Amino acid sequence: MPPPPHKFCGQCGAPLKRRVPSGEDREREVCPVCNFVHYRNPIPVVGCVAEHEGRILLCRRAIDPRLGYWTVPAGFMELNETLGEAALRETREEACAEVRLGELFSIVDLPRGGQVHFFFRGELLDGKCAAGPESLEVGLFAPGEIPFEEIAFQSGIIALRRYLDAESKGLSLDAVPLRPPN
C-alpha cells in the first residue's frame, strides 16, 4: 500500500481538504487556507543483484516489513542521487559491499503500491561483504542455493529469476528500454 495521504498542510498546518484542483483531472489533498496542493507520486525503489565468482549477494532483513526474509540489497531512492548511486548506496548500507555497477536490467511497476522497483546488475569489487545495520546476516549464494521461498519481495524474485535465466542461457543481460513493453 502507498503511504497514507497527509492530513495537515506542510506549508501552514491547516487541515487539508480533498478536491480537484482547477485545471486538473483528479482529486488531491489541497490546503483551503494557502491553496498548496499536496501531490503524491510513486516512489522509486532501487536494488542490485550483485555477483561474486558465480554467487549472488543476499541480505537477511533485520527490519520490517518482512523481517527475517532474504533480499537483494534494495531501498528507497534519496533526493539528489541517481538510480545507479542509489543501487551503490543500498548495497553499501545493507551488505557493506562495494560493487562495480552493470546494466539496469529489471523494472517492476507496482501501481497499487505506489512504487516502481529498479534492479541493476553488479559485481563485488573484492568479494567482501558483511551485515549492515538493516541486515541480520549476508551471504553469497550459488544459483541453486537461493532460498526463493524466503525472498522478501516479489520484485526481488522477478529480478533474481531474470538474472539467473540469462546466466543459464549464457546471455548477456540487456539494459531495459526506457519504456518497457507491456
Q: Which residues bind Zn ion (CB under 5 A)?
A: 9, 11-12, 14, 31, 33-34, 36
DSSP bridge pairs for 1: none
We find the least distance from the C-beta atom of residue 32 to Zn ion, in angstroms, to be 8
Q: What is the DSSP string of 24-63?
A: -SS-EEE-TTT--EE----EEEEEEEEEETTEEEEEEESS
Closest approach of Zn ion to the CB of residue 2, in Å: 22
Query: Within 10 Å of residue 62's Cβ, how many Cβ atoms?
Result: 15
Identify which of residues 30 and 86 has a Cβ nearer to Zn ion in the complex.
30
User: Looking at beta carbons only, is 36 or 141 nearer to Zn ion?
Assistant: 36
For Zn ion, which is the closer residue by CB, 11 or 82?
Answer: 11
Helix and strand totals (H; E) in the chain:
2, 10
Is the distance from CB of 175 to CB of 90 less than 8 angstroms? no
Query: Nearer Cβ to Zn ion, position 32 or 114?
Result: 32
